[in-house]
A and B are shown apart, each in its own frame.
Chain A
């Protein structure tokens, strides 16, 4: 892509990333949460890959790393659900951390942790979908 597109993408992608993190962390106060914030974060990564292009080997390495991040995030979600089983009473998905006052950022027990891990997983998933389709196009013979 031309240099104007590349410079604009560099400027905007950072701000989109910060906006996505804001949506995820304030998931228990304003609408949004894990899913919507994860999609916005994936958008910033896709913008950079589209503007700069990549050669084939670097894309394959990125795909390996992103798959591992996605699997680790899902296992952390299941781990937090099981931690409610072990530390509180014998219930899965129990909300066992202290809940603060309504409206503060650090409140509502274990919900912000769920939002963060689900957001990481959704962002990794959508980026994987995009990367797989590009890798399939790159590796098929012309």
Chain B
């Protein structure tokens, strides 16, 4: 029983409500308190990363031990796959909180902003750490309701419309998920993920199984914005304030969307081939449609939001390719390589997409516009912003030695080794079109004209914003070290082990 696990949820929850009380009486308390709390969480996460050592830690809430080997409590699980997602939540969260120290001055009622931000972090940590199906739903709702309120934070027409669209589609997704959870409870009479896996290995009814899998895939696919469930993403991510856009696009669609799909389909449902083919098709469609919709955009944040759909397609496609190989029972090492490429790309995307959204916010902070046709020549007046956005653009397009190159290389090599030549060709073509789109962004925003055409000339953004952008670009460079043999064994290989080994997850949890 590891008593550190609930701290990841309790600390931000207590911080959210402390900010509501004390922030009314002391000025400027909320900003620095949020940054301190998130820095504490970053230290806790990095310490757990060094201590996890390939094992599975379980925490039973309330101390309810299993009765006759049947789990009766709520379990919270920390294993090698969870710790990677926790790292990106806390690191990107901390840097966005530091960024918003100077960005949020434009809005009123900063108290509510920081309180909702801490609640969102607490909800995401709860989703990632829970080992119980209904607990995922409760923490998912906590984080997503905070996200709805944060998208509508500056109450203009565009933001309210985007938030309403997000609410209707997200609400439909939540009720689909609840229906799916009801179905699974009906047939297996338990809610623990490890226990459901044991119940499924002893035989199941095929039609009901397919229906439950489709409900869960639709619900979480809507949260992760894969095609055809992507309609809310461009509006919501472009109308939100910039640190919230970085959190939404960089962390939320991964922690409550892609993470849950990978966890449930690898560790809870037994893999069948038709679902694996469906997931791979959806991933490939997202990859291709996302990038073609992104080329013609002139609004910076809308362009970045459509590219989010495309890069998430890469992750889903490679996870689906791994599932197809596991379902057919051939080439297990190629399946491990495909899933490793997917998870590595997930981590990379959090870093460079967060950095790109923070850059877009910095440009909007100084020039007041988001339209590419009205800008130009910012490289001379905003050196830090243009340097970090160059690093991020080269990362997302897959240019060595930045991190995007290594993860896309692993995905393409795995697709070729598994003889899925069409997927590899599409991945290369989409990467080239992404490069074209980001070269357009760089040229029109920074390098077109010798100087910014309108008065007043923009200066560099304030220090907290520069600090978080520079740290995030250093993280982008350091993440490419994850592919080297020494570091890969501690971080990526145990994560793949937990996912692909058929009964390792359930036996580790139920045996404890």
Interface residues of A (CB under 8 A from B): 64, 67-68, 70-72, 74-75, 78, 81-82, 85, 89-95
Contacts and interface: CB of A to CB of B under 8 A. Distances in A.
Contacts of B10: 78, 81-82, 92
Contacts of A93: 61-63
Contacts of A95: 62
Contacts, number: 42
Interface in B373-388: none
Interface residues of B, number: 15
Contacts of A78: 10, 13-14, 17
B6 interface: yes
B13 A92 contact: no
A89 B20 contact: no
A91 B1 contact: yes
Pick from A68, A72, A90, A92 the residue with the most CB of B within 10 Å: A92
Interface of A is mostly: helix
B17 A74 contact: yes
Given A91-B63, A92-B10, A93-B61, A67 B3 contact: no
A57 B55 CA distance: 58
B21 interface: yes
A67 B61 CA distance: 29
Contacts of B20: 67, 70-71
B293 interface: no
Contacts of A89: 63
Given A78-B14, A82-B10, A95-B62, A71 B3 contact: no
B43 interface: no
Contacts of B3: 85, 90-92
Nearest to B21: A71
B14 A91 contact: no
Given A78-B13, A91-B1, A91-B3, A68 B63 contact: no
B436 interface: no
A71 B61 contact: no
A71 B13 CA distance: 11
Interface in B51-89: 60-63
